[in-house]
Chain A
């Protein structure tokens, strides 16, 4: 359906924890300008899959490739910070913001991998460093504006309401200037209004920033609504993949996953 090269190309990766195959020979592609959802019951291995491709775990088997600026790079064995540099940014299932930093600073940290100054620059605060710092502030503030968080800019991140913290995590991830954004259950714990706002944000990121999105989500309405394609996992394996329509009609998926809820 898509002739372009995939931005994220995962080939047969497996992650074993001792005898447990948390991810078992999973292949997955994300193409440019696509929103892809990864669903599956709790414990299916979705978060572990994210951890494998972002360098937190090194996959036991298989390959992960990412395409950035026309170059294809293998990610296996790279440290998380390298993976981020190559264009994958992520959020976490359990919020992991920097609580004792301001909201703006949280986003500024996201600019780390696109900026350079180090010890000497910090101490001398030369022209180049000052320029970089101003750009960092400006870039971060603009991102906050886009996600409607700028009114909190100088608040401590820990003082934000839950929904805003989740948005802040997305803003911080966007600050790394990714080609693909990985969201781990972004709607979990949000109220319907916040969920609908999240939906708009995700669409906006895709449309305006030209960033593809891979998201893990349990909110079926949201998933069916925004994703171009859906992958279904169960006990580490891929159960099915296809358009939201195909997935919602797939008898196996209904049995294994949707069935539980509809029963």
Chain B
């Protein structure tokens, strides 16, 4: 116990020392005086003292759990237990689906709009999940493909009056082509290097959109993008919001369906093998180039779809919607949810997008909470909210 107190004391002294310049010293420029806020120092000291206790307790608990798991008596988390047991999982999914379907009739337009955003992120998260979660390619420029989708609808509509329904597949296709174009130069890169190059790619696309006025109308963006029509009938704002809502629900279900099928296929296994060990994967006869490019293209396709829907929803787009922050949020969704886990990504997308909307009070601290929760996740639950589990193939040797 005494040891513990000493440790925490050390931590709190360190924290007081480190935060001293920002928390205690305040320079008042108008009066040219320095204000010493000693109260803050005490608060930091006491706070970090207790937090370090909690921190160590949690770490200890985690270590204990790991040990238990090693001895084979590890208990899976409640989440996993529920999700892996079809008896609970099925009704849960059905209730969730019914809730989603009834959503626009229960809640206001404002809420429905937020939900549309969240579902777009579900799609984006699932798309990036193919690239990062399954194929293990750390892509920090994913938002570029989202931008490609959004701008293809906006520009095609502006110049050629192409409607939403035609733009949707075109946006997806263009994004896929961009995925391959990005994929080629980075085929040899892995991990950090890949992350840096894709980050650069994302920024390049944004800078082009911002500066090439003749092409993309620069920072002022494109407005008056039409909402989707229904059999040629133009809908009012309310109807069309509801319509877009069901459209994105439908698209999300398609995404889930497709990603689920992909990950349990020959191709999906090749992706995971690539993620697990590139050299062994090639030695098993898997064409690395083809497999990686397919991952980039298929991942980008969903971002392209998402972009078209986003443009149709907001009716206005400009480069500011496609900053690195978006890529970071989408990546966090994948990591937070659990790499390669469809349920995890959906849950994380809903949490990440809905929570900040409903916790407006904390909006000043949004990035702080965001960062802190990422760190905590990485330390205590690196496998994500709902860790992915591999499919078990049933094979009965007696039925040959």
- A residues contacting B by CB (< 8 A) are 54-56, 79-81, 84-85, 89-90, 92, 96-102, 104-105, 108-110, 112-115, 117-119, 121-123, 125, 129, 132-133, 136-138, 141, 145, 150, 153-154, 156, 172-173, 175-176
- Which A residues are CB-close (under 8 A) to B392? 102, 154
Alpha-carbon separation in the docked complex, A154 to B400 (Å): 19
Dominant SS among interface residues on chain B = helix
B393 at the interface (CB under 8 A from A): yes
- Cross-chain contact B287 with A79 (CB below 8 angstroms): yes
Alpha-carbon separation in the docked complex, A133 to B395 (Å): 12
- Which A residues are CB-close (under 8 A) to B283? 54, 56, 80-81, 84, 89-90, 92, 96, 173
- Cross-chain contact B266 with A98 (CB below 8 angstroms): no
B204 → chain A closest CB, angstroms: 27
Q: A80-B283, A112-B284, A123-B258 are in contact. Are A98 and B265 (CB under 8 A)?
A: no
User: Which of A112, A113, A138, A141 has most chain B Cβ within 10 Å?
Assistant: A112
| Extra 8 A-B pairs, beta carbons < 8 Å, given A97-B280, A101-B272 | A80-B283, A84-B285, A85-B285, A96-B279, A98-B280, A113-B285, A113-B286, A123-B258
- Cross-chain contact A81 with B287 (CB below 8 angstroms): yes
Q: A122-B266, A123-B262 are in contact. Are A81 and B277 (CB under 8 A)?
A: no
Alpha-carbon separation in the docked complex, A117 to B268 (Å): 11
- Which A residues are CB-close (under 8 A) to B267? 117-119, 122
Q: A119-B267, A136-B266 are in contact. Are A109 and B281 (CB under 8 A)?
A: yes
- Cross-chain contact A99 with B390 (CB below 8 angstroms): no
- Cross-chain contact A84 with B284 (CB below 8 angstroms): yes
- Cross-chain contact A176 with B390 (CB below 8 angstroms): no
Alpha-carbon separation in the docked complex, A133 to B261 (Å): 12
- Cross-chain contact A105 with B269 (CB below 8 angstroms): yes
B185 at the interface (CB under 8 A from A): no
B53 → chain A closest CB, angstroms: 34
Q: A109-B273, A117-B267 are in contact. Are A79 and B395 (CB under 8 A)?
A: no
- Cross-chain contact A98 with B262 (CB below 8 angstroms): no
Question: Which residue of B is nearest A138, CB measured?
Answer: B395
- Cross-chain contact A137 with B265 (CB below 8 angstroms): no
- Which B residues are CB-close (under 8 A) to A104? 393, 395
- Cross-chain contact A112 with B282 (CB below 8 angstroms): no
- Which B residues are CB-close (under 8 A) to A153? 393, 395
For the complex of A and B, 5 pairs with smallest distance between CB atoms: A113-B285, A122-B265, A96-B280, A84-B285, A98-B276
- Which B residues are CB-close (under 8 A) to A84? 282-285
Q: A80-B283, A123-B258, A154-B392 are in contact. Are A98 and B272 (CB under 8 A)?
A: yes
Alpha-carbon separation in the docked complex, A105 to B281 (Å): 12
A142 → chain B closest CB, angstroms: 8
- Cross-chain contact B277 with A98 (CB below 8 angstroms): yes
Alpha-carbon separation in the docked complex, A234 to B57 (Å): 55
- Which B residues are CB-close (under 8 A) to A90? 283
- Cross-chain contact A102 with B390 (CB below 8 angstroms): yes
Question: Which residue of A is nearest B289, CB measured?
Answer: A79
A–B Cβ pairs within 8 angstroms, 7 of them: A96-B283, A102-B390, A109-B286, A112-B266, A138-B400, A141-B395, A145-B397
Alpha-carbon separation in the docked complex, A259 to B390 (Å): 50
B381 at the interface (CB under 8 A from A): no
Alpha-carbon separation in the docked complex, A136 to B265 (Å): 11
B152 at the interface (CB under 8 A from A): no
- Cross-chain contact B279 with A109 (CB below 8 angstroms): no
A196 → chain B closest CB, angstroms: 26
Query: Residues 167-203 of chain B: 1 if any A CB is under 8 Å from the residue's CB, otherwise 0?
Result: 0000000000000000000000000000000000000
Alpha-carbon separation in the docked complex, A110 to B281 (Å): 9
Question: Which residue of A is nearest B280, CB measured?
Answer: A96
- Which B residues are CB-close (under 8 A) to A97? 277, 280
- Which A residues are CB-close (under 8 A) to B261? 122-123, 125
Query: Residues 240-275 of chain B: 1 if any A CB is under 8 Å from the residue's CB, otherwise 0?
Result: 000000000000000000100110011111101100
Alpha-carbon separation in the docked complex, A54 to B268 (Å): 24
Q: Which residues of B, 357-400, contact A by the 8 Å Cβ criterion?
A: 390-393, 395, 397, 400
**Residue in contact with A109 in the complex, picked from B262, B269, B294, CB distance below 8 Å:** B269
Q: A105-B390, A137-B393 are in contact. Are A96 and B262 (CB under 8 A)?
A: no
- Which A residues are CB-close (under 8 A) to B262? 119, 122-123
Alpha-carbon separation in the docked complex, A173 to B286 (Å): 13
B311 at the interface (CB under 8 A from A): no
- Cross-chain contact A121 with B265 (CB below 8 angstroms): yes
- Which A residues are CB-close (under 8 A) to B279? 56, 80, 92, 96
Question: Which residue of A is nearest B400, CB measured?
Answer: A138
**Residue in contact with A108 in the complex, picked from B269, B285, B287, CB distance below 8 Å:** B269
- Cross-chain contact A110 with B287 (CB below 8 angstroms): no
Q: A101-B390, A119-B294, A132-B266 are in contact. Are A113 and B284 (CB under 8 A)?
A: yes
Question: Which residue of A is nearest B270, CB measured?
Answer: A112
B85 → chain A closest CB, angstroms: 16
Alpha-carbon separation in the docked complex, A105 to B266 (Å): 10
- Which B residues are CB-close (under 8 A) to A138? 395, 400
B387 → chain A closest CB, angstroms: 10
Question: Which residue of A is nearest B258, CB measured?
Answer: A123
Alpha-carbon separation in the docked complex, A115 to B266 (Å): 8
B298 at the interface (CB under 8 A from A): yes
- Which A residues are CB-close (under 8 A) to B281? 98, 109
Question: Which residue of B is nearest A178, CB measured?
Answer: B285
Alpha-carbon separation in the docked complex, A85 to B392 (Å): 27
- Which B residues are CB-close (under 8 A) to A150? 397
A169 → chain B closest CB, angstroms: 8
